[in-house]
A and B are shown apart, each in its own frame.
Chain A
Amino acid sequence: MPDQESHAGPAWHEIVCATLKANDVRLVTYVPDNVLKPLINAVHADSYFTAFVTTREEEAVGIVAGAWMAGLRGIVLMQTSGFATLANVLASLPVAFQIPVLLMVSERGVLGEFNLGQAMVARTMRPVLDSLAMVNHTITRFDELEFILDRSIKQAAATRAPACFILSPMLTGGKVFKA
Chain B
Amino acid sequence: MNMMEAPPIGPGNAQVMNRFALTKRLVAKLKDEAVIGGIGNSNFDLWAAGHRPENFYMLGSMGLACPIALGVALAQPKRRVIALEGDGSLLMQVGSLATIAMLKPKNLVIVVLDNRSYQITGGQPTATAAGADLVTMARGAGIAQSAWAADEEMFDEMMARALTQDGPWLIAVRIDDKPGDGATERDPPIITARFMTGIGIKR
Contacts and interface: CB of A to CB of B under 8 A. Distances in A.
A72 B75 contact: yes
Nearest to A71: B201
Given A71-B75, A92-B59, A160-B203, A97 B192 contact: yes
A135 B145 CA distance: 42
Interface residues of B, number: 37
B43 interface: no
Interface string A101-116: 0000000000000000
A18 interface: no
Interface in B73-129: 73-76, 93, 95-96, 98-99, 102-103
Contact of B95 (A27, A59, A61): A59
B27 interface: no
Contacts of A162: none
Contacts of A64: 71
B168 interface: no
B60 to A, nearest CB: 3
B189 A98 contact: yes
Taking chain B's interface residues, is the majority helix, strand, or loop, or is none over half, making it mixed? helix
A61 B93 CA distance: 12
B196 to A, nearest CB: 5
Given A98-B189, A160-B203, A54 B59 contact: no
A97 B189 CA distance: 5
Nearest to B59: A92
Contacts of A63: 67-68, 70-71, 74, 99
A3 B76 CA distance: 40
A174 interface: no
A88 interface: yes
Nearest to A91: B60
B74 A93 contact: no
Contact of B93 (A56, A70, A99): A56
Nearest to B74: A67
A74 to B, nearest CB: 7
